[in-house]
Amino acid sequence: MEGWGRTSVPGEERRGEDLAALTRGMPLSRGLGRSYGDASLPPPGAPVVANTTLGDRILAFDGQTGLLRAEAGLSLREIVYAFLPRGWFVPVTPGTFFVTLGGMVASDVHGKNHHVAGCFGEHVTRLVLRVASGDIVSCSPTDNAELFWATVGGMGLTGHILEVEFRMVRVPSPWIYQHKERVPDIDTFIGRLKDAASEWPMGMGWIDCVTRGARMGRGHLYLGRWATPAEAPPAAPRPRRRITVPSLFPSFLLNPLTVALANTGIYWSHPWRQSTGIVHPEDFFYPLDKLRLWNRMYGRRGFTQYQCVLPASAGRDVARRFLDLLTRRGGASFLCVIKDTGPQGRGMLSFPMPGMSIALDIKMTADTQRLVDTLNAFVIAEGGRIYLTKDALTRPEHFRAMEPRLDAFLAVRRAWDPGLSLRSALSVRMFGDPP
Amino acid sequence: MNIVILGATRGMGRALARAAAARGDTLFLLGRSPDDLARSAADLGARSGRPAPGLAVCDLEAPATFGPALDAAFAALGKVDAVVVTAGLFATQDALEADRALAARVLAVNYTNTVLFCEEARVRLLAAGGGTLCAFSSVAGDRGRKPVGLYGSSKAGLSHYLESLDHRFRAAGLVTLCVKPGFVKTGMTEGLKPPPFAGEPDAVAAEVLAALDARAPLLYTPGIWRLVMLVIRHLPRAVMRKVAF
């Protein structure tokens, strides 16, 4: 079995419509397998995990309040295409819609609107879990609250998520009004990103993280809001066609030279200083989903995504120092995304904190572990942390140094699962669980 | 179209019900578990933004439930255009050879009881002036093969019955559609190694709806299985005795 970054371990998944029956005795549930590292992979001692994707029924939707209750294997793509044409959208979406509701809770995903909407968990009103004892337990912010907030962002380690209830939000149209800017360097970028946060509900930046010197950190800033009915095209957006990357894609095509060329090419692909217009919601939220199985481009060894959040307290120049370290170390990355982040979520291991998030895809080589160690040392010194959903290589001592909330999370987990029967390859690596 | 579906809570039946609801068909769900039916009805309602379909309990292991369930469906829908049976039981050849009680259940559900259900539906459709009766058989019924002997024999009987029904009653307005899915990745086939040409339930659903619209008598789905089975049906016995499929 593989994570999205193609980290692999021996293991198998079992699917079934009845999640309550399926998850009995299993160490872990897995959805669409979009976590990059080992978060959805089985521990060595229990190699069969529950795949929840057949448990995908919507159990209730209230057209007045937007409250939606569904089985945990329901994919975000299904939700988007069932509800967007009717004027509803999820309150928070990650950058791919090939995720399940259960995965969105377990990773407490954030999106381009984190500075205004927080993480997904803020909008969840109730969860139904199969906990380690085998019992089925309902929890909410008021009912078994500790279990609830340990599960939000808890990487599936507190119980199998069977059902999720959350609040959808009304949108004025199913289209996005986008403002795109070409930004010449990292300092301008951070300034623009922070300024835009007060005017635009959604924003993110793509950064060329190869170019050094005065133009270091140049890139594109994407800002957006839902289009008004007057601005929007009359028809609802049609699902985009997908192209599948072949399994034998020659991964040598991704090398430092092509990555540098591609970064420059992408930068100049938008020759205007700025442009505005109506865009398809898939193009705005899920640009990479048009390439099915794009992770194959990195070849058999795969890649890792390094995503960290750097706190506002580290100063505005922290992004410059991070990029300087990265480009000096030659960590050429095809994709580098920067986002403004708002207040820390209530999930006990929820990733974001006020500041900015930087994510980069790094091809797996013999040097990648050292690069991640170097970046982690920087992040620890600046008071930031990494995102477990993306991680494959962070050392346990580094994670502990980043995460003062870890012991509180582990205590809740122990209270519900003293025998640590619920675990993953990640929890074995990071929290020292028995194999 | 107004469609009654037995088996809409799972697998291909679930996909078919969703595809039908998405294009505006009105459904009525029959199935074994009231709770499971209610969840599927809620799902279909929420996805389509229309009222949730009606439902009635109907258990393929309990023929006494067939008539009352169909009566409820016909009463609720008024006019019924199609009755579809996707429900059935599956077990591997090894399991069926080892467990006589299990074999009896699978044979009874897939053949005897499915035929009895179709008879109840046939009578009602004909009385209402016609319609379509559609049941999911299997490519496993096309040829006596090593890995699906017992299961396949139940489907062979069903296919035989469905063909005869189409010949006998089409002139009177009753169209009978025999659907023969190849290997489709559902909860039923979970744990089996997918062969080449394994299909997805959504693709099957689209093809079944098209076949219902076209009043077709027979559908291999996904389409490639028509060719696969054409070859397998013509393999000599000496070859079938040697190969593992």
Q: Residue B131: give its domain's CATH number.
A: 3.40.50.720
Check if the beta carbon of residue A323 is closer than 8 Å to that of residue A330.
Answer: no
By the 10 Å C-beta count (0-12 exposed, 13-18 middle, 19+ buried), B167 is classed as exposed
pLDDT of residue A250: 82
Q: Does B190 touch chain A (CB under 8 A)?
A: yes
Q: Of A154-168, A220-234, A265-279, A399-413, which range is least confident?
A: A265-279
Measured over the CA atoms of residue A386, residue A391, residue A396 and residue A397, the dihedral's sign is negative
Q: Residue A309: helix, strand or coil by DSSP?
A: strand
A17/B9 touch (CB, cutoff 8 Å), yes or no: yes
Does pLDDT of A296 surpass 90?
Answer: no
* Identity of residue B75: A
Check if the beta carbon of residue A227 is closer than 8 Å to that of residue A236.
Answer: no
Residue spans of alpha helices (H) in A198-290: 256-268, 281-285
A17/B40 touch (CB, cutoff 8 Å), yes or no: no
Q: Which of B14, B39, B190 sits opposite A16 (nearest CB)?
A: B190
Residue A14 with chain B: CB contacts under 8 Å: 190-191
Which chain B residues in 27-46 lie under 8 Å from chain A, judged by CB atoms? 39-40, 42-43, 46
The contacts of residue A377 (CB under 8 Å, 6+ apart) are A398
pLDDT of residue A201: 97
Q: Of A82-91, A185-194, A252-261, which range is least confident?
A: A252-261
Joined together, the tokens standing for residue B114 give 């499915």
What's the mean pLDDT in B159-182?
Answer: 98
Check if the beta carbon of residue A28 is closer than 8 Å to that of residue A1.
Answer: no
Does pLDDT of A421 surpass 70?
Answer: yes
Q: Which of B9, B49, B190 sits opposite A86 (nearest CB)?
A: B49
pLDDT of residue A331: 66
Distance CA B142, CA B165 (A): 18
Q: Residue A334: helix, strand or coil by DSSP?
A: coil
**pTM reported for the whole predicted model:** 0.95
Q: Does B78 touch chain A (CB under 8 A)?
A: no
What is the tens place of the pLDDT at every residue in A100-120?
999 999 999 999 999 999 999
Rounded to the nearest angstrom, the minimum Cα separation between A61 and chain B is 6
Rounded to the nearest angstrom, the minimum Cα separation between B10 and chain A is 7
What is the tens place of the pLDDT at every residue in A347-381?
999 999 999 999 999 989 899 999 999 999 999 99
Distances (CA, A) of A139 to A124, A127, A165, A269, A321: 10, 5, 10, 48, 42
* Residue carrying the six token digits 């009525």: B28
Interface test with A, best of B29, B39, B90, B184 (most A CBs within 10 A): B39
Check if the beta carbon of residue A197 is closer than 8 Å to that of residue A203.
Answer: yes
pLDDT of residue B87: 97
Rounded to the nearest angstrom, the minimum Cα separation between B17 and chain A is 12
Q: Which of B46, B49, B191 sits opposite A60 (nearest CB)?
A: B46
A17/B47 touch (CB, cutoff 8 Å), yes or no: no
Chain centroid, CA B207 distance in Å: 13
Distance CA B38, CA B31 (A): 10
Structural domains in chain A plus CATH codes: 12-171+405-431 (3.30.465.10), 176-395 (3.30.70.2520)
Nearest CA-CA partner of A384 in A409, A371, A402, A399: A402
Q: Of A282-291, B93-102, B110-119, which range is least confident?
A: A282-291
Q: At what angle do helices B66-77 and B114-127 cross, to 10 degrees?
A: 40
Check if the beta carbon of residue B200 is closer than 8 Å to that of residue A25.
Answer: no
Q: Does B187 touch chain A (CB under 8 A)?
A: yes
Does pLDDT of A333 surpass 80?
Answer: no
Q: Does B14 touch chain A (CB under 8 A)?
A: yes
Chain centroid, CA A295 distance in Å: 15
Cis before residue B222, ω within 30 degrees of 0?
yes
Does pLDDT of B184 surpass 90?
Answer: yes
Q: Which of B10, B43, B190 sits opposite A14 (nearest CB)?
A: B190
Mean pLDDT for all residues in chain B: 96
Paired with B220 in beta bridges are B180
Minimal Cα distance from A74: which residue of B?
A: B43
What is the tens place of the pLDDT at every residue in A146-176?
999 999 999 999 999 999 999 999 999 999 9
Minimal Cα distance from A22: which residue of B?
A: B187
ipTM above 0.90, yes or no: yes
Question: A327: phi > 0 → left, psi -120 to 50 → alpha, else beta; which?
Answer: alpha
Q: Which of A17, A59, A61 sits opposite B10 (nearest CB)?
A: A17
What's the mean pLDDT in B3-30?
Answer: 97
Check if the beta carbon of residue A394 is closer than 8 Å to that of residue A304.
Answer: no
Residue B186 with chain A: CB contacts under 8 Å: 54
A16/B11 touch (CB, cutoff 8 Å), yes or no: no
By the 10 Å C-beta count (0-12 exposed, 13-18 middle, 19+ buried), A182 is classed as middle
Distance CA A216, CA A211 (A): 5
Q: How confident is the model at residue A329 (pLDDT cuts 50, 70, 90)?
A: confident
Domain that holds residue B68: 2-242
Distance CA A120, CA A107 (A): 9
Check if the beta carbon of residue A173 is closer than 8 Å to that of residue A182.
Answer: no
Residue spans of alpha helices (H) in chain B: 11-22, 34-48, 66-77, 93-98, 100-107, 114-127, 149-169, 201-213, 224-234, 237-242
Nearest CA-CA partner of B200 in B211, B215, B184: B184
Joined together, the tokens standing for residue A420 give 């640590």
Q: What are φ and ψ of residue A36, in 5° steps?
A: -75, -40
Quick one: DSSP state of residue A352?
A: -
Distance CA A239, CA B133 (A): 33
What's the mean pLDDT in A418-425?
Answer: 97
What's the mean pLDDT in A186-214?
Answer: 91
Does pLDDT of A15 surpass 90?
Answer: yes
pLDDT of residue A292: 85
Q: Which of A15, A60, A82 sits opposite B42 (nearest CB)?
A: A60
Does pLDDT of A332 surpass 70?
Answer: no
Interface test with A, best of B14, B188, B190, B193 (most A CBs within 10 A): B190
Q: Of A128-132, A225-229, A358-362, which range is least confident?
A: A358-362
What is the C-alpha R_g of chain B? 17
Q: How many residues does chain A have?
A: 435
User: How many domains are contained in chain B?
Assistant: 1
B39/A57 touch (CB, cutoff 8 Å), yes or no: yes
Distances (CA, A) of A174 to A79, A96, B219: 13, 17, 38
What is the tens place of the pLDDT at every residue in B210-227?
999 999 999 999 999 999
Chain centroid, CA A392 distance in Å: 14
Q: Which of A14, A71, A82 sits opposite B47 (nearest CB)?
A: A82
Percentage of chain B exceeding pLDDT 70: 100
Pairing of strands B54-57, B26-31: parallel
